[in-house]
Amino acid sequence: MCSPANLDLCDADKKAQIETFMALSSDELAAKIKEKTDEQAALEETFKTEVKALQSKYESLQKEKEDGLKAVKDSGLGLMTSVQAHKKKVKSEL
């Protein structure tokens, strides 16, 4: 596996990257590591926030749909389809 201890296993890009990091002081390397871990944390936080917003929107749309379907059914849809079926049955019996 490519690593500072096994540079011979690294491709040219990784080898150059390792050499750049090896040239940094311990404090500089620690600062770069903190910068990247903070960047990761910010990305995770953005993801969690956006997923929460999507979940909230989904729940809102789900309730809106359920309320709308109930209103349609309560407006007589079931009775209308029953009447329609009855009329077809009566018509076919004649």
Q: What would the pLDDT profile of 15-67 be if each residue is shown by its tens digit?
A: 999 999 999 999 999 999 999 999 999 999 999 999 999 999 999 999 999 99
Q: What is the pTM of this model?
A: 0.63
- Tens of pLDDT, residue by residue over 70-90, are 999 999 999 999 999 999 998
Look at residue 24 and give its three-state secondary structure. coil
**CA 30/CA 24 separation, integer angstroms:** 9
Q: What is the predicted pLDDT for the residue at 82?
A: 93
Cα 30 to chain center, whole Å?
A: 32
Residue extents of the structural domains in the chain: 4-93
Mean pLDDT of the region 5-12: 95
Q: Are 15 and 4 in contact (CB under 8 A)?
A: no
Q: Residue 94's pLDDT band (boundaries 50, 70, 90)?
A: confident
